[in-house]
Amino acid sequence: MKKILGTILICLFSGAITLIGYKYLIEKPYSPLFEEQTTTSQFVPQNQNHSISNYQADFTGAAESTVNAVVHVKNLSYVTTHSNPLLEFFYGYKGGTQAQIGTGSGVIIAEDGYIVTNNHVIANASELEVTLNDNQSYKAKLIGTDKQMDIALLKIEPKEKLPHLIFGNSDQIKLGEWVLAVGNPYNLTSTVTAGIISAKARSLSKTGIQSFIQTDAVVNPGNSGGALVNASGELIGINTLISSNTGSYVGYSFAVPSNIVKKIVEDLLEYGNVQNGVLGVSGFEINNMTAKQLNTKASRGFYVQSVIKNSGAQKSGIQAGDIISAINGKSISSFVDIKNILNTKRPNDVVTVKLLRDETEKTMEVALINAENNTLFYNGFEFENITPEQRANYKIKYGVKITKVTNEKYLAYRDELEGAFLLSVNNVKINSVDEARQLLSSQSNQQRTKMEILNSAGEYIRLLI
């Protein structure tokens, strides 16, 4: 019995000791001596603004404000078809005038009914109809176009003030920035897709005239002329085309930057046509190969091969052999960079040109000249734009006129070449001196240039320069 009582007392004593130890050692009361300190390791960078893992993009405001400013554009045109005896015999088909309907998108940029779309959306239209997001329809009038940049301006007469988008600054967009594409793909009503800016100043043509914003936002047939907006709902581009082997979205879409669109709209309203300003130089891009051939330290830039007489470039002192490295503080690594800057400028605007001459840096102020009225000099050939009368007389739809030949290799053929028309360069059709300049400027100094020429006798001449 004594052993049992002893065992019980030992158990009680042990339990008491255990309870006391738990209270004082495990459940230790809060004390300033043990206050938790919040520190940041110097080896682990911390985001002081927000946690990336908790970030959620919210486009609801931008989407709601944009869909009501995007319209559906219907293009009605008439095509004349010829009679086919076989089709008429078997199917009763007879030639005649047939109506064709094309569709696309547009963006309202003013409350009184001005609308921007793509030129290819309204090309060859006999009638234009615009349907708003609330299903109201209006006949539209074509104000003007810029075929090179694929932009057109329309006007409707609305019954009341319309919701519209405000132009954003496309020069300030950043790679990786979220954007929304809004349009009417496959005849659907306003559709919103999201993506990021994949590239800036992207050129898809051999002429290098166009400079696009590239995104991975989903764009399909019918989206052409629709809006590309930032997260604030500002218009930063007009969706124009997609890169696809199937004709539908497979990865990337392209938009004309809003700064270029805004300038085109202002020109059309003020002057009735687009005012294009150019430096007045021709040449080619610098790369590692041409840098070695020219014995220059410059690894990029634009090499000036010739300067147009009486141009702003000549008056400012730019010379053949100079290498343009920057314009208005923006570095130049390709001709597309130059066009991206000049596309927002007009004749007589002044730009700051930084260049390299004999390995010495110089800075000059250059007044731009009108691209419509200047002459192009290239490798001993002088070109100018074809007048409407010349187009009609010679029945040609494209090309530029050769006004003078000073290249020693072709002096024997000068009488035949002077007055002839340059139709294409390296199989690319030429519509203006400006297009010829962009295309010839993209040639390296060592590349051969194939020219297709039509002389006054109606004979085709092909030259390798």
Q: What is the pLDDT of residues 353-387, one digit of tens each?
A: 999 998 899 999 999 988 765 677 777 888 888 87
Query: What parts of the chain have a pLDDT lower than 50?
Result: 22, 25-55, 207
152 vs 43, 287, 293, 452, CA distance in Å?
55, 36, 44, 31
CA 136 to chain CA centroid, Å, is 31
DSSP 34: G
Provide the residue type at 102 as one letter. Answer: G
Q: What pLDDT is recorded for position 410?
A: 85
- Residue 200 to residue 170: CA distance in whole angstroms: 9
SS3 62: helix
Which CATH number describes the domain made up of 277-370?
A: 2.30.42.10
Report the CATH superfamily, name and number, of domain 67-155. Answer: Trypsin-like serine proteases (2.40.10.10)
pTM tops 0.85, yes or no: no
For 107-118, give the DSSP string: EE-STTSEEEE-
DSSP for 412-443?
A: GGHHHHTT-EEEEETTEE--SHHHHHHHHHTS
Reduced to 3 states (helix: H, G, I; strand: E, B; else coil), residue 378 is strand
Q: Give the pLDDT confidence score for residue 173 in this predicted structure.
A: 92
Q: What is the CATH number of domain 376-464?
A: 2.30.42.10
Question: The tokens 């629709």 sit on which residue?
Answer: 226
> What integer pLDDT is reported at residue 106 of this predicted model?
95
Query: Would you say 125 and 76 are in contact if contact means Cβ atoms under 8 Å apart?
Result: yes
The CA distances from residue 44 to 39, 48, 386, in Å, are: 11, 12, 66
DSSP classification of residue 167: B
Identify the CATH number of the domain defined by range 170-270.
2.40.10.10
Identity of the amino acid at 170: S
Which residues are identified as catalytic? 120, 150, 224
CA 388 to chain centre: 30
Q: Which helix (H) or strand (E) holds 230?
A: strand 227-230
pLDDT at residue 227, as a whole number: 95
pLDDT value of residue 259: 94
- Rounded Cα distance between 54 and 40, Å, is 20
Q: What Rg do the C-alpha atoms of the chain give, in angstroms?
A: 33
Domains 67-155 and 170-270 share a fold: yes
CA–CA distance, 347 with 339 (Å, rounded to integer): 14
**Cα–Cα distance, 106 to 226 (Å, whole number):** 5
User: Which residues, at least 6 apart from 35, have a Cβ–Cβ distance to it below 8 Å?
Assistant: none
Q: Would you kindly state where each structural domain of the chain is located, as residue ranges?
A: 67-155, 170-270, 277-370, 376-464
